[in-house]
Structures are given as structure tokens and as C-alpha cells.
Copies of this chain bind each other. A is one copy, B any other.
Amino acid sequence: MAGLNFLDLKFLPAKEAEAVILPIPYEATTTYGAGTRNGPEAILAASRQVELWDEDDNWDPSAVVRLATASPILPEVSGPQAMLDKIKRIVQPWVSQGKFICALGGEHTITVALLQAMQTRYPDFTVVALDAHADLRESYDGSKLSHACVMRRVYEMGRPLTLMGVRSYSQEEHQLLRVAPRLKVFKARDLHTPAGWDQALEHLKGISGPVYLSIDADALDPGVMPAVGTPEPGGLSYSQVLTIIEILAQRGPVIGLDLVELAPIPGHRVSEFTAARLLYKALGYIYHQRRPG
């Protein structure tokens, strides 16, 4: 994977960047489907075809924001804890230097490490996660660090957590959803009603302080994002996801971002093109707020 740069930009060392695209091709706790380890490279390859000009805000974010694509974090296979430690060790210094992190998974578990790295600098963060599944299980397949538990671990960090696009969870997770005080859930079906959608956007606008955004590819409808391990019909549209990001960016600082769980389908490239576009749009929205503009 050495060498593919996001948007085919000229190489920039991570230390000189203000935003770091970070490939993490990690896949060890996946239970079904396979191939999220190939996600980062597919997204980077597709990103080379993304037009640099942002047609919404009429600027070229890549010409203004110093973007670096870091070397991928190679898997540590002795167990998820070792891998999360490695991620945290690498990301922590960048966070300390105020860099924006945009991670490409790989499985969702990596979000835990990314947030731990964020927490020292941004103790008051809120997490907004787009996901078809609640990922709130206590443990799964013998580990508390499985992809199916990632939001539980995130929730335990003691900060507000908003889940959007959810349409699949277990009874155990349902119980938690009902009582967890810092947890707010917007189910996909509700987001497809005008009232539910407005309510969700109001909620997002009301979040104060730094926000970390985690996007599981399966939050999007499998019609437009088929390359996921467990497709769930009835997902968010591309336009909905764009709006969510736009509103989060207008609202206040977005401190980090990940897009995970994309497992490329050989020969059917829509998913990675959509992901690459989405990430660049997200960077555009986020940095457009930070600039005079």
C-alpha cells in the first residue's frame, strides 16, 4: 500500500501536514464477510479520480489544506489490544500537534484507539457515529474489543454518543439504548420521515464542543454502498450523510473522522468512489468553516 496518496496529491510528510489521511487496514475480529483490510487502498485508489474542485463551496480544499497521506498502520496480529495500542501510539503525537485525523478502516474497532488518542487534547468531545448496527454489545466472540462492541467501549469513555442510521441491534443493545443517559439514537427509519430528519438535524446543531465523527460504511444504504460485510437495507442516502457532515461542520469544531468497514467488491467500484468523494466533501466542509473562505 506504500505510496498511494489521497487524491493523488504530491507526497507530504505527515509532520508537515495539518490533516492526516491515515490508512488502517486492520481486520481481525470480523465475523462475516471479509475484506475490510482492502478498504483503505481501494478508497485511496478511487480518490485519484475525485475532482479537486469543491463544486458546492467553490474552492479547492486540497490547494489550501496541507493534506498528507500517512503510511498505513500495519496490523499487529497478536490481538486487538496490541493493535489498538499501536494505533494510539502513532496517532497521539499528531493529535497533540493539533493535526486533524481522517482514518480509513479496516474494521470499526479502530475507533476506540483513535478516540483515546483524541481524549487527552479534547476531553469534552462528543461522538457522532453513523452505523447500521448499534455495536453496543458488552463482548463478542470472546473479546470486548470486537467490532461489534466498539460503540460500547466508546460510550464507556464517559462522553455523549449519538448514533444515526441504526436499523439492527440485539435485545441486549435495545435495553441499553433505552436507559443509557448519554446515548442518543436516531434510527434509520425515523430519519426517512421529514419529522424525524428535522429532529435529528436539530439535535446535531445543538451539540456543543468538539465532535468526532465515525462513519461505518454500512450506515449508507446498500444500494449505494454495497461493499460492506453485513448489508442492511433501508440505510441513509448519500445526500443525508453529506447534510449531516455539513451541519456538524457548521456547528463547531470537528476534530477527527473515520470511515470504516468498507470491504471492496472486485469489479464493482461504486462503494470506494462514494467513500472517497464523501471524505473529500467532509474535509471541504470542515475546513471551509475554519477559513475566512
Interface residues of A (CB under 8 A from B): 1-5, 8, 11, 27-38, 41, 45, 48-53, 55-56, 58, 60, 74-82, 86, 133, 140-143, 145-146, 166-171, 173-174, 187, 189, 192, 221-224, 226, 230-234, 238-239, 242, 263, 265-270, 273-274, 277-278
**Chain B residues closer than 8 Å to A270, beta-carbon distance:** 222-223, 226, 231, 233
Provide the bound-state CA to CA distance between A283 and B55, in Å.
33
Q: Which residue of chain B lies nearest to A174 when distances are taken between CB atoms in the complex?
A: B53
Using known A-B contacts A142-B78, A230-B49, A273-B222, determine if residue A174 contacts B4 with beta carbons closer than 8 Å: no
Further 19 A-B residue pairs, CB within 8 A, beyond A53-B174, A55-B187, A77-B145: A2-B3, A27-B34, A28-B77, A33-B269, A41-B45, A76-B141, A76-B143, A79-B80, A222-B270, A222-B274, A224-B233, A226-B269, A230-B273, A232-B273, A234-B242, A265-B267, A265-B268, A267-B267, A268-B268
Of the residues B3, B8, B74, B140, contact of A141 by C-beta under 8 Å: B74
- Chain A at the B interface: mostly helix, strand, loop or mixed? loop
Using known A-B contacts A78-B145, A79-B79, A142-B82, determine if residue A29 contacts B32 with beta carbons closer than 8 Å: no
Using known A-B contacts A78-B80, A145-B78, A273-B230, determine if residue A34 contacts B38 with beta carbons closer than 8 Å: yes
Provide the bound-state CA to CA distance between A11 and B2, in Å.
9
Copies of this protein in the complex? 6
A5 smallest CB distance to B (angstroms): 6
Provide the bound-state CA to CA distance between A259 and B202, in Å.
40
B146-A77 in contact (CB<8A):
yes
A108 smallest CB distance to B (angstroms): 13
Closest 6 CB pairs of A and B: A3-B3, A79-B79, A266-B267, A266-B266, A29-B77, A78-B143
A51-B224 in contact (CB<8A):
no
25 A-B pairs with CB atoms under 8 Å apart are: A1-B48, A2-B4, A3-B4, A3-B11, A28-B28, A29-B77, A49-B230, A53-B169, A53-B171, A53-B173, A55-B169, A55-B174, A75-B141, A75-B142, A77-B80, A77-B143, A78-B145, A79-B80, A79-B81, A189-B239, A222-B274, A226-B268, A232-B273, A233-B274, A233-B277
